[in-house]
Amino acid sequence: MSPPYDRVRNYADGEWVEPTGDHAEPVTNPATGAELSTIRFASPADVDATVEAAHAAFREWRSTPVEERIQPLFRLKSLLEEHHDELARTLVREHGKTLAEAKGELRRGIENVEVACGIPSMMQGGSLQHAAPDIDERAVRQPLGVFTAITPFNFPGMIPLWFLPYAVATGNAFVLKPSERDPLTSQYLFELIDEAGFPPGVVSLVNGGRATVEALIDHEQVAGVSFVGSTPVARAVYERAAGAGKRVQAQGGAKNHVIVAESADIEFAAEQAVSSALACSGERCLANDVILVHEAVYDDFREAALERVESQTLGDGLDEATTVGPLITPDHEARVRDMVETGIEEGADLVHDGRDWAPDGEKLEAGNFLGPCLFEGVTSEMTLAQEEIFGPVVCLAAVPDFDTALARLNASRFGNAASLFTESGREARRFTEEAEAGNLAINAGTAAPMAFFHFGGRKASFFGDLHAQGQDMIQFYTDETIVIERWDY
Ligand code: NAD
């Protein structure tokens, strides 16, 4: 079955299977409201059968030579590249972001497959002869069993690949539970996985919602859980999994700030900061939506930012002219519109009102559209400065100096990302040391780590210690067994 998919299926023990849960709901195109498919959730029995098959597969996969384990990943990389355009179109139809954004997202996903192909070097342990009298000692990295990842709606093509390639390359079995709001991208991804030649049960897919997630976490054969999504759910997943004695890493929501220093290149900073706030309609955990600008350059920055907000084109992500697509659901659109109302009520100044905005002056007929909004005078007490908006809303504030800006940034309960635009090495150095966020960018709008580095996150943006991507994943997916050996006795 290739796209369009009339229904969403699970993939277990190397086969496509029909879910048997009671609950079903439509999958819709956020740009048109058109129904694309139906997703039926997995039943507890579906989850159990999937995990049991994964655990059976793990027993052989863990001792399969590492060179053999990475061959399906090389094939998966080629398949992802061969199907890049159609995969991106599938993603746009169910998510709404622009085609360029979807292609960029998939590229970042493929990067993780590439990095995981280096597992023969990355997974090595250490050894030392004569660690003690007549004793040699080794640390051996070993896989742990079945891992699951629960992923959010906003990067359906990339985020599953923050986990899947590393889990299986290290010798574990892996079960993905993608967002129920845009499950079609992973239908496509699993067709490619099916073709890539993993042994049955090594990689599986279950669809569903909260009950599915809880059944996965609680399953005694699940050794560890990765989660990416909103902070309240991240916290709940972390507590449930940790309470059951499992490995867990849970990435949560965000509220990211940008500091624009007096010395910054204003045009460049405005371009980078506005595009960081508006990319993927602001539905990014790396969106920088609070921009703190030194008062000496505030007017120039405001003008440059306004020009960029005004020049966006709202529309269907499949239309090449579109720069800002729709929001994921009507409910989410209503939530972001409420945030805009709250901003006005709390006294922020709405300089550019995107609420009735459309390129031709007419409101778009269908779809969950909200045009880009620009606020100024956003103070640290306002909801706009404290809560994640997850929509195309840019918030400006003038600040008297670098210290005030840094203090405002650090007052946030979140700690996902932050950016600084400056020509001062001293400010850059202080920012690196003092900014309380896990992903920092200097003279760049979005602090997106490459796959060979981990994806940071602190405070209410992350629960756990080992992060997604890179070397952290190798540690998360393995345990180091210590072996001491004596042959002269
Ligand atoms: P969400 O928390 O609603 O859902 C995420 C996943 O959890 C989905 O698979 C969903 O089915 C499942 N889920 C939902 N409610 C649950 C519950 N009560 N118990 C167990 N599982 C549940 O998040 P979302 O709306 O899909 O994604 C947006 C959020 O994700 C934003 O807050 C964003 O900042 C965050 N995010 C964070 C990162 C990061 O790296 N820190 C990356 C991307 C997105």
The 10s digit of each residue's pLDDT in 10-36 is: 999 999 999 999 999 999 999 999 999
Q: Which atom of ligand 1 is nearest to the CA of 180?
A: 11
- 306 shares a domain with 197: no
CA distance 297 to 402: 13
Instruction: Identify whether residues 185 and 305 lie together within a single domain.
Output: no
Whether residues 389 and 429 share a domain: the answer is yes
Nearest residue (by CA) to ligand 1, atom 21, is 210
Give the pairing of strands 35-40 and 7-8: parallel
118 located within any domain: yes
- What range defines the domain where residue 70 resides? 10-252+461-485
Pocket of ligand 1 (CB under 6 A): 150-155, 177, 179-180, 209-210, 213, 228-230, 233, 236-237, 251-254, 285, 388, 390, 416, 455, 457, 461
Query: Does 269 share its domain with 237?
Result: no
**Looking at the domain assignment, is residue 5 inside a domain?**
no
The CATH number assigned to the domain holding 430 equals 3.40.309.10
Query: Residues 366, 471: one domain?
Result: no
The domain tally of the chain equals 2
Give me ligand 1 centre to Cα 407, in Å: 28
| Domain contains 169 | yes
- Give yes or no: residues 402 and 281 share one domain: yes
Residues 203 and 97 in one domain: yes
- Ligand 1 atom at shortest distance from the alpha carbon of 214: 20
Distance in Å, CA 143 to ligand 1 centroid: 27
Rounded Cα gap, residues 314 and 95, in angstroms:
15
Terminal alpha carbon distance of the chain: 64
Neighbours of 29 (CB within 10 A): 22
Tell me, yes or no, whether 454 lies in a domain: no
Does residue 345 lie within any of the structural domains? yes
pLDDT tens string, the chain, 489 residues long: the values are 678 899 999 999 999 999 999 999 999 999 999 999 999 999 999 999 999 999 999 999 999 999 999 999 999 999 999 999 999 999 999 999 999 999 999 999 999 999 999 999 999 999 999 999 999 999 999 999 999 999 999 999 999 999 999 999 999 999 999 999 999 999 999 999 999 999 999 999 999 999 999 999 999 999 999 999 999 999 999 999 999 999 999 999 999 999 999 999 999 999 999 999 999 999 999 999 999 999 999 999 999 999 999 999 999 999 999 999 999 999 999 999 999 999 999 999 999 999 987 555 555 678 999 999 999 999 999 999 999 999 999 999 999 999 999 999 999 999 999 999 999 999 999 999 999 999 999 999 999 999 999 999 999 999 999 999 999 999 999 999 999 999 999
For residue 472, being part of any structural domain is answered with: yes
Domain annotation covers residue 455? no
Write phi, then psi, for 180 (nearest 5 degrees).
-75, -10
Q: pLDDT, tens digit, for every residue of 272-315?
A: 999 999 999 999 999 999 999 999 999 999 999 999 999 999 99
Residue 208 in contact with residue 21, Cβ under 8 Å? yes
Same domain assignment for residues 365 and 246: no
Going from the Cα of 233 to the center of ligand 1, the distance in angstroms, rounded, reads 7
DSSP class per residue in 318-360: TSTT-SB---S-HHHHHHHHHHHHHHHHTT-EEEE--TT--TT
Residue 106 zone, left/alpha/beta (φ > 0; ψ -120 to 50; rest)? alpha
φ, ψ for residue 222 (rounded to 5)? -90, 120
Report the nearest atom of ligand 1 relative to the CA of 209. 11
- Is this prediction's pTM over 0.95? yes
In this structure, the answer to whether residues 324 and 361 fall within a common structural domain is yes
Residue of minimum CA distance from atom 17 in ligand 1: 210
**3-class DSSP state of 482:** strand
Report yes or no on 456 lying in a domain. Answer: no
CATH number at residue 188: 3.40.605.10
Which residues lie across from 417 on neighbouring strands? 439
Determine the longest span between alpha carbons in the chain, in angstroms.
Answer: 88
* CA angle in degrees (0–180, nearest 5) for 457-240-285: 25
Query: Three-state SS across 41-106?
Result: CCCHHHHHHHHHHHHHHHHHHCCCCHHHHHHHHHHHHHHHHHCHHHHHHHHHHHHCCCHHHHHHHH
Residues 195 and 136 in one domain: yes
CA 452 – CA 460 distance, rounded (Å): 24
Q: Tell me, yes or no, whether 239 and 193 share the same domain.
A: yes
285 is catalytic: yes
291 and 204 within one domain: no
Taking alpha carbons only, the member of 461, 457, 459, 454 closest to residue 476 is 454
Of 280, 285, 373, 395, the active-site residue reads 285
